[in-house]
C-alpha cells in the first residue's frame, strides 16, 4: 500500500520518502495476490471499492511495468468458487454476478476437483497477480525510477503534532534508524500505511492483526488454469506451475510469529478436499504474516485524527486488490484533486471514526474482533 501510494505521488512530481521498519513484514509479500471482489462474496461499499479497483488494475499495472521494466504477473484467469450443493451456490452473496456451474461443468473447469463439491460459481472477471515474486519488486523499482527515497530499518516511534483550533496537525515523525540513533523528521504531509501495526502509532484506530499461514507446492505447468476459492482454503496457480495455498485465519494469535502444526494441518486438509492430486506435489515454501483487520473488515481511508496525515490501512485480506484504488484516492486527496461524487462516497464509507461514536457505514456489516 505504501509503495503504491509513493509511486503515484512521485509520478506527480512529489518528493517522497518511504520509512520501513522491515520490508519483509509487509503484507504485500505474504498474500496470494487474488483479485477477487466477486469470488470473495463482498457486499455493499466494500464490493463497490473492490470493483473500482479491479477496473483500475490493468492501467495501474501497465504504469508500474513501464516505469520498472519488470512484469507484475497479472493474470485475468477467472476464479471458481465451489460448493457442496446448488442451494449453497445460489445463496452466495455475489451469485448473480457469476456463472453457475454444475458438477460436470466444475470438473471441466477444475480437473481433479474433490468429490465433496457438486456446484460452483465462475467469476471470469476476477483474477490474480504474482505479488510475492513480481509485483512488489516491480513497485520498488518503479518508485526508485521516480526518485522515491527509502529508509529501510527505520522504525517510526511517534508522531509529532501541534495543537490547532480544529484538529491537531502533523509536524513530523520521530524515528529510530537502522544504526540505532533517533531522528526527528519534519513533514507536513504523510501517509500511515503500517498495516497490522497501525494502532501502535495512532491508538484511536480500530486495527488489529489477524495472522495467516500459507504454503506453496510445485505443480505441473498448466495443471490449474483457474484460481479455486474454496471454503477456508484457496489455490492460486502461477504461470510456472507454482501453487500458492492459503490461508489460515487466526485473530486470537495476535502478533505471535511462526508456523504452527495446527495451521499447517488445516492447509493440508484444504488441499486434500479441493484438489486431492496436489497433495502429492512437492512442497516449496511455508510462511506467515499479519493481515490488518478492522471490526467490519473494511479499510481505513483518507483523513485521520491528525491534519496532514492520511490513512491507508486496515485492508484485511484485500490489500493487493485494493492497492490501485487506494493509491488513486489518497494521491488525489494529498494533491487537492477534485474527486467524483462516487469516490467521495467511498472515502466517507471508510472513515477511520465510523465505528464510534458514528454508526457503521451503510452496507458494511459489523464484525466483533476475536481475541
Q: Are residues 202 and 300 in contact, defined by beta-carbon separation less than 8 angstroms?
A: no
DSSP state of 26: -
Q: Which residue among 291, 319, 336 closes a domain?
A: 291
Predicted structure pTM score = 0.93
State the chain's mean pLDDT as an integer. 94
Query: In terms of DSSP H, where are the helices of 69-178?
Result: 86-90, 103-109, 136-145
Residue 356 lies in a domain: no
Q: Which domain holds residue 89?
A: 74-130+211-291
Task: Report pLDDT digits (tens) over 312-330.
Answer: 999 999 999 999 999 999 9
pLDDT at 36: 98
Give the whole-angstrom CA distance, residue 10 versus residue 302. Answer: 19
Residue 368 lies in a domain: no
pLDDT at 356: 73
DSSP state of 205: S
Give the whole-angstrom CA distance, residue 131 versus residue 318. Answer: 12
Residue 24: pLDDT band with limits 50, 70, 90: confident
* Residue 251 shares a structural domain with residue 147: no
The mean pLDDT value for 78-107 works out to 98
Residue 61 lies in a domain: yes
* Residue 244 shares a structural domain with residue 344: no
CATH number at residue 153: 3.50.50.60
pLDDT at 367: 33
Residue 305 lies in a domain: yes
Residue 232: pLDDT band with limits 50, 70, 90: very high
What phi-psi label fits residue 41: left (phi over 0), alpha (psi between -120 and 50 degrees) or beta? left
First-residue to last-residue Cα distance in the chain: 26
* Residue 171 shares a structural domain with residue 58: yes
Q: Which residues pair with 150 in a beta bridge?
A: 18
Q: Tell me the three cell numbers of residue 346.
A: 467511498
C-alpha torsion 349→130→79→365, nearest 10: -20
* Residue 15 shares a structural domain with residue 59: yes
* Residue 261 shares a structural domain with residue 314: no
* Residue 141 shares a structural domain with residue 282: no
Residue 203 lies in a domain: yes
* Residue 142 shares a structural domain with residue 267: no
* Residue 339 shares a structural domain with residue 220: no
CATH number at residue 270: 3.30.9.10
* Residue 149 shares a structural domain with residue 169: yes
Q: Are residues 293 and 369 in contact, defined by beta-carbon separation less than 8 angstroms?
A: yes
Q: Are residues 33 and 132 in contact, defined by beta-carbon separation less than 8 angstroms?
A: yes
Task: Report pLDDT digits (tens) over 150-185.
Answer: 999 999 999 999 998 888 999 999 999 999 999 999
Q: Are residues 120 and 89 in contact, defined by beta-carbon separation less than 8 angstroms?
A: yes
* Residue 136 shares a structural domain with residue 121: no
DSSP state of 268: H
Closest among 119, 122, 113 to 272, alpha carbons compared: 113
Q: Which residue among 291, 316, 331 closes a domain?
A: 291
The total domain count for the chain is 2
Residue 287 lies in a domain: yes
* Residue 33 shares a structural domain with residue 60: yes
Closest among 83, 99, 76, 92 to 41, alpha carbons compared: 92
* Residue 157 shares a structural domain with residue 117: no
Residue 259 lies in a domain: yes
Residue 355 lies in a domain: no
Q: Over pLDDT 90: what percentage of the chain? A: 92
Q: Are residues 271 and 258 in contact, defined by beta-carbon separation less than 8 angstroms?
A: no
* Residues whose CB is less than 8 angstroms from the CB of residue 38 and which lie 6 or more positions away in sequence, other chains included: 47, 79, 94, 97, 98, 123, 125, 126
Q: Which residue among 246, 276, 291 closes a domain?
A: 291
pLDDT at 357: 52
Amino acid at each position: 500500500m505504501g509503495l503504491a501510494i509513493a509511486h503515484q505521488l512521485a509520478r506527480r512530481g512529489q518528493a517522497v520518502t518511504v520509512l520501513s521498519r522491515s520490508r519483509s513484514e509487509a503484507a504485500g509479500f505474504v498474500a496470494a495476490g487474488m483479485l477477487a471482489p466477486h469470488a470473495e462474496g463482498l457486499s455493499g461499499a466494500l464490493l463497490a471499492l473492490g470493483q473500482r479497483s479491479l477496473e483500475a488494475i490493468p492501467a495501474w499495472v501497465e504504469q508500474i511495468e513501464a516505469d520498472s521494466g519488470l512484469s507484475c504477473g497479472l493474470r485475468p484467469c477467472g476464479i471458481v468458487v465451489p460448493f457442496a450443493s446448488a442451494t449453497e451456490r445460489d445463496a452466495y452473496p455475489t451469485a448473480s454476478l457469476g456463472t453457475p456451474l454444475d458438477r460436470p461443468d466444475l470438473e471441466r473447469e477444475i480437473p481433479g476437483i474433490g468429490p465433496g463439491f457438486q456446484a460452483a460459481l465462475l467469476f471470469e472477471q476476477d483474477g490474480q497477480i504474482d505479488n510475492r515474486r513480481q509485483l512488489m519488486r516491480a513497485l520498488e523499482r518503479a518508485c526508485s525510477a521516480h526518485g522515491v527515497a527509502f529508509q529501510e530499518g527505520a522504525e517510526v516511534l511517534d508522531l509529532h503534532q501541534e495543537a490547532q483550533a480544529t484538529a491537531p496537525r502533523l509536524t513530523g515523525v520521530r524515528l529510530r534508524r537502522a544504526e540505532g540513533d533517533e531522528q526527528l523528521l519534519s513533514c507536513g504531509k504523510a501517509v500511515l500505511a503500517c498495516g497490522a501495526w497501525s494502532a501502535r502509532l495512532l491508538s484511536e484506530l480500530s486495527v488489529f492483526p489477524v495472522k495467516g499461514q500459507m504454503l506453496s507446492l510445485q505443480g505441473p505447468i498448466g495443471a490449474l488454469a483457474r484460481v479455486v476459492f474454496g471454503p477456508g482454503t484457496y489455490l492460486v496457480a502461477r504461470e510456472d506451475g507454482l501453487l500458492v495455498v492459503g490461508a489460515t485465519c487466526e485473530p486470537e494469535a495476535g502478533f505471535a510469529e511462526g508456523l504452527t502444526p495446527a495451521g499447517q494441518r488445516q492447509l493440508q486438509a484444504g488441499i486434500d478436499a479441493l484438489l486431492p492430486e496436489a497433495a502429492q506435489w512437492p512442497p516449496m515454501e511455508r510462511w506467515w504474516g499479519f493481515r490488518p483487520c478492522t471490526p467490519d473488515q473494511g479499510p481505513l481511508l483518507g483523513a485521520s485524527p491528525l491534519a496532514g496525515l492520511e490513512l491507508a490501512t486496515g485492508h484485511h485480506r484485500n490489500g493487493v486488490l485494493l492497492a490501485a484504488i487506494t493509491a488513486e484516492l489518497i494521491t488525489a486527496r494529498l494533491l487537492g484533486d477534485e474527486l467524483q461524487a462516487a469516490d467521495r462516497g467511498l472515502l466517507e464509507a471508510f472513515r477511520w471514526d465510523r465505528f464510534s461514536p458514528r454508526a457503521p457505514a451503510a452496507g458494511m456489516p459489523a464484525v466483533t474482533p476475536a481475541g
